[in-house]
Amino acid sequence: MTDEALASLVQRVQESALALAAQAPSRPRAVRVRAGDVSVELEWASEGPAGTIVATEQQDVATTAAPAGPAEADPPGRAYLTASTVGVFYRSPEPGAPPFVDVGDTVVKGQQVGIIEAMKLMIPVEADAAGCVVEVLVDDGAPVEFGDRLFAVALGETAAGGT
């Protein structure tokens, strides 16, 4: 693994740990983040009579990470627009509005294709490749993790099917 890939992996694990801690019902007593085999652990203290700590609970929230890069079965000329953070994915700017993009739409690099809500922030999802949307991979309102595939795009194609 290159230094750049390791740094990226550590950053993704850190972002995931912070997002999970922010969504927890109470503040964790400890957070452990490991880079080798990617593991995130949140630990809460259990309280007994008069608020004394009597035991410790651990919740292993992430134990593996998918390897970087496309899967072997990915068709040539296809790119995937992915989640840049952990959160809830929305296809449209507000409830009831049409989606930013749909199957058959042409997207250009930098075009907004969705929103991820993370810790009460609305983070735009922008296309990092140009082409024609051939598949929507995540439902509106679904939780996503960093790197999850949101849309499949046929590179260099337009809605009319040309290049």
Query: Residue ranges of the domains in the chain?
Result: 3-62, 78-155
Does residue 99 contact residue 90 with C-beta atoms inside 8 Å? no
| CA–CA dist 111, 105 (Å, integer) | 12
| CA–CA dist 146, 85 (Å, integer) | 4
pLDDT tens string, the chain, 163 residues long: the values are 677 776 776 677 667 766 666 666 666 666 666 655 556 666 666 554 444 443 333 344 443 444 445 445 778 889 999 998 899 999 999 989 999 999 999 999 999 999 999 888 899 999 998 999 999 999 999 999 988 999 999 987 766 555 4
CATH number for 78-155: choose from 3.40.640.10, 3.40.50.2000, 3.10.129.10, 2.40.50.100.
Answer: 2.40.50.100
| CA–CA dist 38, 95 (Å, integer) | 35
pTM reported for the whole predicted model: 0.55
Residue at token pair 């409830």: 95
| CA–CA dist 48, 50 (Å, integer) | 6
